[in-house]
Structure 1
Amino acid sequence: MRTLFAPATGSLPRSWRLTRVQTASCGMGGGEEIAAELLAQIQVCQNAADLADRPGDPPAGRAELRSVLAPPYRGRRFVHLAHDHYGRLLGYARLGVYSAFHHELAHGALTVHPAARRHGVGSALLGALAASAKANGRGRLVLDGPRNAATDGFARSWGLHVGGCDLRSRLDLNSAALHAKLATVLPEQRQGRAGNLLPMRWAGACPEYLLDALIDTLDSLHADPDDPGVTPFTEAEVRHRERAAWSAGLREYTACLLDPATGRMAALSTAHTADGMRGEQNETVVVPEYRGRGLAIRVKAYLVSELLTAEPNLRVLDTYNAVSNTRILAVNRSLGFEPVDTHAAWTLAI
C-alpha cells in the first residue's frame, strides 16, 4: 500500500500541534510497537484520505497499516503526527532510515485528512520529515506520492523533483479473461515449455534450502556493483523482512521457477494480503541470464494461481511498476492488469 502526501482541497481551519514518535527499531536492538489507540486514529485518517483521493479502493485494514508503519528493512522508522487541540489526528507522516541499500537516503510518505488540507499541516509534516532525515545523517529525502496537479504544486513549493514514476495497475481476480489466460499459460509451464524449469512456491518464510538462491535472485534486481551506496541482500535482511511482515499480520506468498541443473532461481514473484480481499504483488524478478524466454508472465501467472487457491476471497491484486519498464507493463497487460494511477518518487536534497 502506498500512502499519500500533500494537501488537495480545503475545509475548516483548525489549530494543531506536531509530535514525533519512534514506532520501531527492529533489527537494531528491538523497538516498540505502535499503540492500538494511535493505530485506530491513523486508520481513520488514512481511510478518509483514500476516500477523497482513491475512490473505489477498499479501506485500509490495521494489518496493512501496521506493515507500512514498521521498518520493512533493518533500521528505524519514525512517525510524525499532527493533532489539533482536541487531540484529533489531522495528518501523519512516516520516515524510514535503513541500514541496507541506499545509505544516503531516507524514505517517507505523508497523509493529511481531507478536512485539514490547505492549512499548513502537510508543510509542517514535510518539514519534520526533512529535519528528522537530516538528524539521522541522510542527505536526501524520498517521498512516495500520487502524481497530480495538487502534489505537483506542493512539490514545487518545497523544491522537490521527480526521481521516478510508478504506474499502479490492478488485476480483477474474478475476471473470466484472467482464468482463460491462466488456463493457457500454466499447462505450458507444467509440460516443461519454460525450459525445464521447476515451478515452486511457499507461503510465509522462505525454506532454508532455498534461501541462498532467493538472495542471489533478489540481488539481481536490487544490488548495483557500480554504486557503493547500494548493499547486497543478506540472510539477516531477508529474515527481517519476513518477521516484519508476519508481525504486522501480512500473509506473504512467493512463486519461483527453479533451474534443477544449477539450483538457481531463474524467476520469482511475490505478493501479500492483509485482509484477504485486496492483495499487492511486489517483486517480479527474472535473472539476466534467463531473460527473453517468457518467464515473467509464467512466474506471475503461477503466483496468481496460487493466490486464488490460498486466498479464495481475494478480489483484486495491485502492483506498482516503473513507467519506463515497458516489458513488465506489457506482461501485466497480457495477464489483465488495468492502469489505475501514477505515483512519483519525489526527492528533496537536505
Structure 2
Amino acid sequence: MTTTPSRPALEVTPFDPRSAPVEQRVAVGRLLRASALYATPDDPPPVPEKEALYLAQQEPDTRSDHVVVWADAKALAWGRLGYDLKQNMHVAHARIVVYPQARRQGLGRRVWAALQEVAAREHRRVIIGGTSSRSPAGEAFARALGAEAALPNRQSQLDLGALDVGLLARWQTRPEGDPYRLHVWQTIPDEYLARMADLMMVMNTAPRGELEMDDWTVTPEMIRAWDAMMDESGEVRWLMATEDTRSGQLDAYTEMFWQPERAVLLHQGATGVRPMARGLGLGKWVKAAMLEHVQAACPQARFVRTNNASVNEAMLGINVALGFSEWATFVEWQLRLP
C-alpha cells in the first residue's frame, strides 16, 4: 500500500516590500493583477512591476505591515494593515487579496488572523476595508468576519464619447464680474501649497456613514510626498481649483488621475467645495472644466470612474447630470476589535 505524502501547510509570513527582493515584490504584483483580471476582465490589467512599486511606497507618518502566503515563489495570498502614527490612532485600514484559484481554502482567514495580531499590537480597535460588487466573494468574507457595512458607495462610469458639450459649456459660464478664477495644476505651486492643503480638508465634511473616524489634517508635506510618489510611479494627477481673487482663498477643487499604461481609464478623485461657497456653481464649474481638459490632455482615455457615498445626493446629482451611470457598488466595512 502506497501513501501520498501530505502537502506541507502554507504559512503566513511577514513581508517587507521595502527590503524584499524585487522578485518577491513582483510576485505579489502578479497576484494583484490576477485578482483584478478576475473581477474586471474587460479593464486594462495592472502591471505587476508597477504594483510592486506601489507596495514599497509609504506616506509620511504612516506605517504598513504586510504578510504573504507563499507557494514556492508564487504569492497565493497577501494582506496589508495600514495605519497613521499621528491621526485617527484607533483606526487601521486592511486589504486582503487571495489568488482566484486558491480561494475557499482558508487563506484569507489566516491572513486576517495575522493582520489582527498587528492591529492588537498597535492598539487599533477599528479596522476598515472595502469590497466591490465586481468581486462578491469580498462581501461574503467581510460578513463572515462580523464586519458591518458602514458606508455604501456607488461606483459610476462616464463614457467620454457621450459627453454633452453644451452642458459643459453652460457649467463653465460664469456671471459678469465673477471674482473667481480657475487654476489648473499638475504640481501645486509653492505659493498655493498651504492654501491647497487647507482646502483639501473640506473633504472632512463628506458623508462618513457609520465609520468611526475623526477629521483628518492635510499638510503641505503630505501633498509633496504624494507628488513624489506619483512622479516615481509615472502616474499623472491633474488638479483644478478656484481662487477667490478678493481674498486669495481657494474655495473649490477637483482632481483626476491617469496611468499611461492603462490609458483608456481615468479615475476621478476628490471634488470639494467649502460650505460657505456652495450654491455658486463652483463644483459644476471645476467638474466640467476638468472633463474638457482631460479630453484634450489624454485623447486615449475613453472612460472615467468615480466613487460617491450613496447618501451624497449633491455630488451624485452632478455626476448623473454629466452622464455617469452606475458601474458597481463599493462598500466600506468596519470591524470593531475587542
Q: TM-score, normalised by structure 1?
A: 0.83
Give the drift of 1:149: 5.3
Note the 1:242-253 alignment, pairs <5 A: 242-253=227-238
Where does residue 234 of structure 1 map in the other structure?
A: 219
Q: Distance in 2 between matches of 1:82 and 1:138?
A: 23
Q: Distance in 2 between matches of 1:65 and 1:339?
A: 30
Give the drift of 1:297: 1.8
Give the drift of 1:40: 2.6
Q: Distance in 1 between matches of 2:120 and 2:182?
A: 45
Give the drift of 1:304: 1.8
Where does residue 82 of structure 2 map in the other structure?
A: 96
Residues 283-302 of structure 1: per-residue CA shift (max 9 Å, x gap) = 10101111122221211111
Q: Does 1:259 align with 2:244?
A: yes
Q: Distance in 1 between matches of 2:213 and 2:327?
A: 35
Q: 2:194 aligns with which of 212, 219, 223?
A: 212
Q: Distance in 1 between matches of 2:154 and 2:19?
A: 32
Q: Distance in 1 between matches of 2:322 and 2:228?
A: 31
Q: Does 1:166 align with 2:153?
A: yes
Q: Distance in 1 between matches of 2:58 and 2:219?
A: 16
What is the letter of the counterpart of residue 16 of structure 2? Q
Q: Does 1:22 align with 2:22?
A: no
The answer as to whether partners of 1:141 and 1:349 remain within 8 angstroms in 2 is: yes
Give the drift of 1:202: 0.5
Q: Does 1:79 align with 2:72?
A: no
Q: TM-score, normalised by structure 2?
A: 0.86
What is the letter of the counterpart of residue 199 of structure 2? T
What is the letter of the counterpart of residue 59 of structure 1? P
Note the 1:7-46 alignment, pairs <5 A: 16-23=10-17, 32=18, 35-46=21-32
What is the letter of the counterpart of residue 88 of structure 2? H
Q: Distance in 1 between matches of 2:269 and 2:52?
A: 16
Question: Which runs of no fewer than 5 residues in structure 1 stay unpaired?
Answer: 1-12, 24-31
Residues 177-217 of structure 1: per-residue CA shift (max 9 Å, x gap) = 3444324333x14xx469431011101x3111111221221
**Count of residue pairs brought into register by the alignment:** 322
Q: Aligned-pair RMSD on alpha carbons?
A: 2.6
Give the drift of 1:59: 0.9
How has the CA–CA distance of structure 1 residues 36 and 271 changed in structure 2, closer, same or farther, with 3 Å as cutoff?
farther
Where does residue 37 of structure 2 map in the other structure?
A: 51
What is the letter of the counterpart of residue 242 of structure 2? L
Where does residue 277 of structure 1 map in the other structure?
A: 264
Note the 1:314-325 alignment, pairs <5 A: 314-325=301-312
Q: 1:202 aligns with which of 182, 185, 195?
A: 185
Q: Distance in 2 between matches of 1:316 and 1:228?
A: 32
Q: Report sequence identity in percent.
A: 23
- Rg bigger for which structure? 2
Residues 243-271 of structure 1: per-residue CA shift (max 9 Å, x gap) = 22222332111011111111111110012
Q: Distance in 1 between matches of 2:203 and 2:60?
A: 16
Give the drift of 1:279: 2.0
Q: Distance in 2 between matches of 1:228 and 1:340?
A: 27
What is the letter of the counterpart of residue 266 of structure 1? D
Q: Distance in 2 between matches of 1:223 and 1:329?
A: 15
